[in-house]
Amino acid sequence: MILIKNGTIIDPSCKREEKGDLLIADGKIARIAPCGEIQEVGCEVIDATGMVVAPGLVDVHVHFRDPGFTYKEDIDTGAQAALQGGFTSVVLMANTKPVVDNEETLDYILEKGKNTPIHVYSCASVSKGLQGKELVDMALLYSKGAAGFTDDGIPLLDVDILEQAFVKAASIGVPVSLHEENPALISNNGVNSDIAQKKFGIGGSPREAEIDLIARDLDIALKIGVILDVQHISTKEGVELVRQARQKSTKIHAEATPHHFSLTQEAVVEHGTLAKMNPPLRLEEDRQAIIAGIQDGTIDIIATDHAPHSVEEKSKPLTEAPSGIIGLETALSLGITNLVDTGKVSMMQLLACMSCNPAKMYGLNAGNLAIDSTADVVIFDPKAQWTVEKFASKSSNSPFAGNKLTGVIKYTIVNGNVYPVR
């Protein structure tokens, strides 16, 4: 048994926030009680004085690059990065090599995930080979364990295919998660067109590319009644479109990344390719709109889009380097530093976006501290500071390296197994 003493227990799934003790037995949450009421005899004791005890974090948008690109990351190293970040459950994207459009690849990922300390889930692709031309057998892949469906990184442009996917997903009751950028409007991806032209003399990715597809896809999703996840939203107009859609349907969801609520396009000037990502960092007004969207519940999920790349790849010129940054190990701290400590978002709101909300959308057994639920817990000091230096990930492509952040994770607990962090 494990007794976590004297912590501030925050469980956004039931709006619990109180000082108390939490007992874990046989890998389950056994009891929550006022401080001192649970006997310590026979228990491994963790003193959580001054710390928050919360459900293990859930990230529904990560790239572990396995199979096919394991020089960047693999399922084992990705799981270690997740542990360091307080994440106990992750959902992998389907753009591996081969693509997760078949039983064999899906089974490989899920079986390898079972041998890691965390819970590893995976989406399957919407279209075969990410080509956007032919649907995968969604019913079959869902029956084999696919958590949802996405062609993440490659927008679905064929409306007929998109509608077919929505109809099928709606009949199964699973989410479709979409990368919303129209490539026809993009000259060079990964950099906002404003800064791309002003500072680098190149074309970039205009905000209209995102707005165009979000508007189209929300309209279709509302008509069909599918569970839709608008991934890594980056524009104020996109936030407003989602806000209006969520007033019409509870099946509409939106993700924000820590980098989109923490940084603006100016970071590309400072950090170069380390701040290149799809969709790109945009203006301060967009960053503030994203924060406002988290505040009012328009954006109900914070997901990292953890996207490892090698040093060699990120050392290429801006127009040639791949987009994406790692994010698992800094996500919670960025939320505390830039949302909670600034008074914009409560700790309860932040944790809801990082635990119960994403778990609920994907139907995962995660994101709560209910009695008899799996003991997936994160314990962190919300006031302590640390400097971003070494990463458990194979990759280190982060614009936050060297930054001092608030919020230090002390323990990540998965299935009742305790993993000390910092």
Residue 350 pLDDT greater than 90, yes or no: yes
Residues 159 and 244 in one domain: yes
Average pLDDT estimate for 161-188? 97
In this prediction, residue 385 has a pLDDT band, given cuts at 50, 70 and 90, of very high
Residue 101 placed within a domain: yes
Residue 39 placed within a domain: yes
Residues 157 and 201 in one domain: yes
Residue 393 placed within a domain: no
Residues 314 and 329 in one domain: yes
Average pLDDT estimate for 365-370? 98
How much is the mean pLDDT over the chain? 98
- Residues designated as active site: 305
Residues 196 and 308 in one domain: yes
Average pLDDT estimate for 79-95? 98
Report the pLDDT value the prediction gives residue 422, as an integer from 0 to 100: 81
Report the pLDDT value the prediction gives residue 313, as an integer from 0 to 100: 98
Residue 140 pLDDT greater than 90, yes or no: yes
Give dist(CA 33, CA 48) in Å, integer: 14
Residues 87 and 126 in one domain: yes
Residue 90 pLDDT greater than 90, yes or no: yes
Average pLDDT estimate for 6-35? 98
- Residues 69, 312 contacting (CB under 8 angstroms): no
In this prediction, residue 372 has a pLDDT band, given cuts at 50, 70 and 90, of very high
In this prediction, residue 304 has a pLDDT band, given cuts at 50, 70 and 90, of very high
Q: Where are the alpha helices (DSSP H) in 93-227?
A: 103-114, 138-143, 159-172, 193-200, 207-224
Residues 258 and 276 in one domain: yes
Residue 138 placed within a domain: yes
Residues 320 and 410 in one domain: no
Report the pLDDT value the prediction gives residue 238, as an integer from 0 to 100: 98
Q: Which domain holds residue 411?
A: 2-53+373-384+406-420
DSSP letter for each residue of 82-126: HHHTTEEEEEE-S-SSS-S-SHHHHHHHHHHHHTSSSEEEE-B-S
Residues 212 and 129 in one domain: yes
In this prediction, residue 228 has a pLDDT band, given cuts at 50, 70 and 90, of very high
Domain tally, the chain: 2
The Cα-based distances of 260 to 99, 103, 210, 311 in angstroms read: 27, 34, 14, 22
CATH value at residue 61? 3.20.20.140
